[in-house]
Amino acid sequence: MGMDVMARNLQVKIKNYTGIPILDIVGELNASALNQIAIQVQRLVDAGNYHIVFDLKEAAFAGLKGLRAVNDIARGVKRHYGSLYLIADRGQEEELRQLPLGEGARICRSVEHAIAKILGGYYRPLFGKRAVSARLES
């Protein structure tokens, strides 16, 4: 699933964590960029991925008007009984909360937090982190 979406001043890398697509979005996020991302999200949903994570921590928002398309993306995912998880830092979170995101979008502070919510509280370390066993050996 290593698809990339490129636009002017925007880069989107799509990673996969246990079947959950994570879109790392870097650069200026505006309405036209979100329209391109929406096409990719629809392809992911059509392929059976119903929970999708947007990591927005390195994205710059070009105003709230441009972000309204996030609600449309979230509605499209929700039609398949999934959710769109938006990863944002504190400042971005305040901006996102001003949008009419609806029930299909959830805001989280980390990818790990979103994955835990999707997997029902279970979380394994992501990308390159080693899992540690709690087993005691005698």
**Residue 76 lies inside a defined structural domain of this protein:** yes
User: Would you state the structure tokens that stand for residue 54, as one six-digit string?
Assistant: 């947007």
**Residue 36 lies inside a defined structural domain of this protein:** yes
- Those residues with Cβ within 8 angstroms of residue 97's Cβ, 6 or more apart along the chain or in another chain: 107
**Residue 19 lies inside a defined structural domain of this protein:** yes
Mean pLDDT by 10 residues, the chain (138 residues): 56 88 90 86 89 92 71 84 90 82 85 90 58 46
**Residue 129 lies inside a defined structural domain of this protein:** no
**What is the side-by-side order of every strand in the sheet holding 4-7?**
4-7, 10-17, 20-29, 51-61, 83-87, 105-108
**Residue 138 lies inside a defined structural domain of this protein:** no
Distance CA 70, CA 82 (A): 14
Please report the sign of the dihedral spanned by the C-alpha atoms of residue 43, residue 44, residue 49, residue 52.
negative
Quote the pTM value: 0.78
**Residue 20 lies inside a defined structural domain of this protein:** yes
Distance CA 87, CA 42 (A): 19
* pLDDT for the residue numbered 51: 93
* pLDDT for the residue numbered 132: 44
**Residue 23 lies inside a defined structural domain of this protein:** yes
- Those residues with Cβ within 8 angstroms of residue 121's Cβ, 6 or more apart along the chain or in another chain: none
- Going by their DSSP bridges, the two strands 83-87 and 105-108 should be labelled as parallel
* pLDDT for the residue numbered 127: 54
Q: How many domains, the chain?
A: 1
Distance CA 94, CA 131 (A): 33
**Residue 15 lies inside a defined structural domain of this protein:** yes
CATH of the domain at 105: 3.30.750.24
Residue that has been written with the tokens 């959950």 in this structure:
20
Residue numbers of the domain that contains 91: 4-118
